[in-house]
Structure formats: structure tokens, C-alpha cells
């Protein structure tokens, strides 16, 4: 199933011109969940498959009170589906609401609510090893899966364009676009161990200096181990 974005303006057309107006296909989520034929749609639009989505729902349910899990008009699964679709698409609230056949205000409320929930739970899922033994376990994972010894993480980053906030000091990148500079470290299973989000004016070097890993790498990571990154990643001392 393909969900197209709403048609923007056709103001340049005269009243006699013939044209098609694209419409949004409503996502019938309740009939999609668990059906193998929609696996590709889930991966493309939610950035995860059915199995991961189900596990994510289970983890959220375990962390939230029954009051927040009440269905009301829409199921908890649909709320999470709406949230992930918003995060994984290039559209905004209006496009997401149209795709699910819900109001824009409901979509805004759900995205803000689940964003707050995820922020509170992030430290349970994204964390650095707390001991030398933990770092050695990460190293063992790289050696076992990829036959690469002495590696305790891979690091990469990207710029994400955003709408200009009210406090936009330092938010512009070198191309003049408002954006955020995001750097992340994952283990051999692509589990996020560290994520740092800074204004675009922060260089990779400055992000490394203020990150939790950058401040503690000398005392935590085994001395013979290292992090690896793609060719654009600079090497810095801890």
C-alpha cells in the first residue's frame, strides 16, 4: 500500500485546464497488523517490521500505566503506529492525520504524548556499558559476528533539517539550513549505545568532547580497543 502526500496548490492552472487531484489513501491499520504481505510497507513507513513493532508495543505496555493503555476511540497499537509513521515520513501532522483518517489535533496530541514517554524510557534502551566486562562483551560481539577484533562500537552522524525554532542561535549548518547534528554509537547488533543531539553549528569534534562517551572513554573503554566509523569520521583523543 502506498500512501501519497496530499496535493499542494494548482493555482497556476486556469479553470479550463484538465488536471488530476491526488488523494490520500487511508491506512487501514487494523487489517494490516500481522499480515506478511504488509511487511515491506511496515519497513518503509515505520522503519521496522511486524516483529519489531509487536515487541515495541509489548515493551511500552510493560512500562505504562493502565490509564494510558485504555483504547477509547483508537487502540494503543494504532496510536503507536501513528507515532512511528509520523517519525518515519517526510510529511507533517496534516499528512499523517490524513493517512490514518484522524484529526490533526489528535495526531499532534499522540505524537507529543508518546515523544514524552519515549524520552523518559530512552535511558533503559540506550546506554553505554557500565563496566570493563560490559565493554568486553561488546568487543566479543564484533569479533564473533564480523571477525573484527578490538572494536567496541561503530560511530556515525548526520544532519537533520528542522523547522527554525524560536531560539535559533547556532541552529544553522554551513549551507544555511536550520538543522541538528546527530552522532550515534551502536554495538555489533546495531543497538544504540549512545546518542548525542546538538545544534548544527556544533562540529563533530565538539560533539565528541561533550558527549558521555567522549568524556569517559579513557577510563571506561579497554586501552587496546577502538571505535570505527566511515571515511568521513575524524579520529579524536578521548
- Within a domain: residue 33? yes
**Selection from 71, 72, 42, 37 nearest residue 54 by Cα:** 42
Contact 225/139 with Cβ under 8 angstroms?
yes
Say what the pLDDT of residue 67 is.
54
- Within a domain: residue 3? no
Domain-terminating residue out of 105, 125, 145: 125
Terminal C-alpha separation, the chain: 48
Identify the domain containing residue 160 by its residue range.
132-229
| Same domain flag for 120 and 183 | no
Say what the pLDDT of residue 221 is.
86
**Cell representation of residue 217:** 572513554
Domain-terminating residue out of 109, 125, 141: 125
Q: What is the CA radius of gyration of the chain?
A: 22
| Same domain flag for 86 and 167 | no
Per-residue pLDDT of the chain (238 residues; tens, 9 = 90+): 333 333 333 233 344 444 344 444 567 776 777 788 889 989 998 999 999 999 999 988 888 766 555 656 788 888 999 999 999 887 889 999 998 889 999 999 999 999 999 999 899 999 999 888 999 999 999 999 989 999 999 999 999 998 888 888 899 999 999 999 999 999 999 999 999 999 999 988 889 888 888 888 888 888 889 999 876 565 555 4
- Within a domain: residue 16? no
Coil, strand or helix: which one is 237? coil
- Within a domain: residue 108? yes
Say what the pLDDT of residue 17 is.
45
User: CA-CA distance, 223 to 90, in Å (whole number)?
Assistant: 42
Domain-terminating residue out of 125, 141, 170: 125
User: CA-CA distance, 75 to 67, in Å (whole number)?
Assistant: 13
**Domain count across the chain:** 2
Contact 236/155 with Cβ under 8 angstroms?
no
Say what the pLDDT of residue 26 is.
64
SS (H, E, C) 54-88: HHHHHHHHHHCCHHHHCCCCCCHHHHHHHHHHHHH
Amino acid at each position: 500500500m502506498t500512501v501519497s502526500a496530499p496535493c499542494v496548490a494548482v493555482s497556476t492552472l486556469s479553470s479550463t485546464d484538465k488536471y488530476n487531484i491526488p488523494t490520500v489513501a487511508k491506512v487501514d491499520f487494523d487489517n494490516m497488523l500481522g499480515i506478511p504481505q504488509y511487511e515491506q510497507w511496515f519497513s518503509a513507513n515505520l522503519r521496522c517490521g511486524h516483529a519489531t513493532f509487536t515487541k515495541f508495543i509489548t515493551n511500552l505496555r510493560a512500562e505504562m500505566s493502565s490509564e494510558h493503555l485504555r483504547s477509547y476511540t483508537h487502540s494503543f497499537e494504532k496510536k503507536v503506529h501513528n507515532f512511528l509513521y509520523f517519525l518515519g515520513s517526510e510529511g507533517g501532522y496534516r499528512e499523517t492525520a490524513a493517512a490514518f483518517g484522524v484529526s490533526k489535533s489528535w495526531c499532534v496530541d499522540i505524537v507529543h504524548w508518546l515523544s514524552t514517554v519515549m524520552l523518559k524510557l530512552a535511558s533503559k534502551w540506550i546506554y553505554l556499558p557500565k563496566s570493563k566486562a560490559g565493554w568486553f562483551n561488546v568487543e566479543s560481539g564484533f569479533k564473533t559476528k564480523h571477525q573484527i577484533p578490538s572494536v567496541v562500537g561503530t560511530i556515525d552522524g548526520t544532519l537533520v533539517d528542522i523547522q527554525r525554532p524560536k531560539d535559533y542561535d547556532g541552529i544553522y549548518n554551513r549551507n544555511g539550513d536550520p538543522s541538528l547534528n546527530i552522532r550515534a554509537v551502536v554495538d555489533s547488533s546495531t543497538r544504540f549505545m549512545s546518542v548525542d543531539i546538538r545544534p548544527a553549528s556544533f562540529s563533530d569534534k565538539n560533539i565528541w568532547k561533550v558527549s558521555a562517551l567522549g568524556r569517559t572513554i579513557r577510563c571506561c573503554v579497554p586501552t587496546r580497543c577502538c571505535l570505527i566509523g566511515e571515511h568521513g569520521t575524524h579520529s579524536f583523543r578521548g
